[in-house]
Amino acid sequence: MRQLTTLLDQWLNRFNKVMDETIASGIPLTVPTVREGLAAITRELVTDIPDIALIENLTIKDKVPIRIYHPQPETALPVLVFFHGGGHMSGSVEVYDPICRKLAQHSQFIVVSVEYPLAPEHPYPAAIDDGYLVLQSLFQTLIRAELNFIPQLSIAGDSAGGAICATLARMAQFDDEVEIAKQVLIYPSLDYTLSFPSVNQNGMGYLLQQSRIEWYFSNYFQHNEDRRKASPVWGPYSMALPESLVITAEFCPLKDEGIAYVEALKKQGVETEHIHFEQMIHAFLNMENIVKKECELAYTTIGVFLNK
């Protein structure tokens, strides 16, 4: 028996009804409809959009577009690189603009939102390659743009963006040239094998359907890659991984893999915090108008974690 907050439950009932009618009518799942769906939900439900003193669009190595949010342009601040969610197939810097503004506002970090390439046009590992290029070259780009910053790099991402973050952190633990201070994973996708019980338990009726996840992954992995090897939850782990904050939600199909990742990090001796949102579903940051208290707590917790 599900126990969601009242407004979320009402919204989810309407959403599920529309989805059932769409499926019954035989309308196929397509890349454009998935992309517009996430954009529309975010546009409709995240309408409190704070002003940020400086917002600038740049490109890393003439290849990867980024958007920079600097809340105090006259002050040197540390840097948080953000990778948006969307199943590796949807989402964008523009869709996540209000969320990145809130991250900058609550953390007083320079937030750098990455326009990484999406599947199916750009399958695995294109987003990983471009994400690592950003980490390697970001400081030089900020210097050329004459922006005030402290050369301290942290990363954050939600859902598929969390998968990218954890993958980049896994790579950087063996690379002396890339140092990640902290990582923030928001209901992250960490297991491409879909082996954990919550995938089945929460995989129907809670926005993110198991069938949708499987479709995302089949578009992301197009060359018979070893999905277990690509999954951050299966390691390898070392104490060189960054201090981590992991956010999970009670009715999210990815909940168990997030918890397993927390336990693995702690076992390795990595400083790790875990905040679990009961009565919440996947992608609740994109639904702020109906879960305002929970979103405020999430942003505040992230800000405190990054600044401690």
DSSP letters of 150-162? EEEEEEEEETHHH
Residue 195 a catalytic site member: no
Buried b (16+ CB within 10 A) or exposed e, 247-280: bbbbbbbbbbbbbbbbebbeeeebebbbeebebb
Q: Enumerate the β-bridge partners of residue 70.
A: 54
| Cα distances (angstroms) measured from residue 129 to each of 33, 65, 140, 165 | 27, 14, 18, 12
- 213's enclosing H/E stretch is helix 210-220
Main-chain dihedrals φ then ψ at residue 222, nearest 5 degrees: -115, 0
- DSSP, collapsed to helix, strand or coil, labels residue 57 as strand
- DSSP, collapsed to helix, strand or coil, labels residue 232 as helix
CA atoms of 203 and 199, how far apart (whole Å): 5
CA atoms of 34 and 11, how far apart (whole Å): 18
Choosing from 90, 154, 159, 231, the catalytic residue is 159
| Cα distances (angstroms) measured from residue 27 to each of 21, 22, 24, 33 | 9, 6, 8, 10
User: 224's torsion region: left (phi>0), alpha (psi -120 to 50) or beta?
Assistant: left
SS3 content of the chain, % helix, strand, coil (to 5): 45, 20, 40
- 149's enclosing H/E stretch is strand 149-158
Angle between helices 160-172 and 126-144 (to 10 degrees): 70
State the catalytic residues. Answer: 159
